[in-house]
Structure 1
Amino acid sequence: MSALREKVLDYLMARHSMTIASHGEEGVWAATVFYVHDGFRLYFLSAPTTRHSRNIAHDGRIAITIQEDCADWPEIKGIQAEGRAVEVSGAEESRARELYGEKYPVVGKIAQAPAFIVKALAKVRWYRFDPESLYFIDNSAGFGRREAVECFNPP
């Protein structure tokens, strides 16, 4: 595995939220969600009634960003990617739930979760984002430093 791929996978492991940019009948929209990753596949959950979920149902092409909050441009670091999002079910949904539960124990231990979490999880759908192109931004290595990352995920 290349050093860059490993660095990006470590970055994904250390972060929790991503911003989704989507487009639908109401126009463009951005929303932040928690995610887990399996290689470069990203899984997230959301209610199907949210604007970004409706947009994904309309057109699965989305863009995402994952970044750190910083106060100065040399500190800017993160991921920009574009690809497709789809709703998942069955065995893949079970895998997403398992990964999510490992990263966010309150979801993984549903029997011990607060009632409002149990109620919320009953209303969500699970989604997978497959990047078609992915870039790692690291201004500490130079202003505008952007490296393309090979992010092929085998089936």
Structure 2
Amino acid sequence: MPVTNPWLAGPSPTEQLPRERLDERILNLLSSQNMCVIATTGPSGALATPVRYFHVDFTLVFTAAPRTPKLRNIAADPRVSAGVFAPLVGQASSRGAQVFGRARVLEPGDDGYDRWWPAVRWQSDHVERSRDLGEPPHGPLVVIPADRIVYTEHWLRRDGYAPRQFWTRPGSS
């Protein structure tokens, strides 16, 4: 029987991508998807919440309704993890990232809110809900600058690279 992807057989390579190529692949994933699962921890334990995200470089941004469990959890412990992934067709298409960072919840008027707000594409939601485009929403904005990212892409094996790659923010330990 012919094997579709013979390069998937055998042990995985261990070589890490050059930093520039890893940056490009991570940014490509973040740009080609718009949903992730945010994991937080609170008094009731772990909470994994699907959210639509936007990104600016290696920072994830999303809106949230006030007083939600995820915002309460972030207020208690800002350490979060976000899982971003492409649809899986088979092992060769496996591509995703675990983003780890400290979330900040910004309200309108907070320092930094105006910096991150332009990344949010709220207009299509307004059109879908028959709301006036002249009245943008004003609610909490969650910003997660990535401290580290575990990137997985099995297609990298074709070029002799490990399917799991490790990214850390420059200047972090």
User: What are the residue-to-residue correspondences of 1:1-155 with 2, within 5 Å?
Assistant: 2-89=20-107, 90=110, 92-101=112-121, 104-106=122-124, 114-115=130-131, 121-122=137-138, 124-142=139-157, 145-152=163-170
Q: Which string of whole-angstrom CA distances, capped at 9 and with x for unpartnered residues, describes residues 70-112 of structure 1?
A: 13233210111211101124352223221113xx5426xx699
User: Which structure 2 segments of 5+ residues have no match?
Assistant: 1-18
Deviation digits for residues 110-129 of structure 1 (CA, Å, limit 9, x no counterpart): 6996239999945x310111
Tell me the secondary structure at the aligned position of residue 47 of structure 1. Answer: coil
Map Cα deviations across residues 38-73 of structure 1 (whole Å, 9 max, x no partner).
Answer: 111111111122211111111101111100121323
Structure 1 contact 37–43 (Cα < 8 Å) conserved:
yes
TM-score by length of 1: 0.80
Number of paired residues? 148
CA RMSD of aligned residues (A): 3.1
Q: 1:48–1:54: 8 Å Cα contact kept in structure 2?
A: no
Choose 1 or 2 for highest CA Rg. 2
In structure 1, how many angstroms separate the alpha carbons of the residues matched to 2:135 and 2:65? 12
After TM superposition, the score normalised by the length of structure 2 is 0.72
| Structure with higher helix content | 1
5+ residue gaps in structure 1? none
CA distance in 1, matches of 2:142, 2:48: 16
Cα gap change, 1:71 to 1:96, in 2 (>3 Å): same
Report if the CA contact (8 A) 1:5-1:150 is conserved: no
Residues 40, 152 of structure 1: 8 Å contact kept:
no
The structure carrying a bigger strand percent of its residues is 1
SS in 1 for 2:60: strand
Measure, in 2, the Cα distance between the counterparts of 1:50 and 1:118: 27
The residue matched to 1:2 in structure 2 has which SS?
Answer: helix
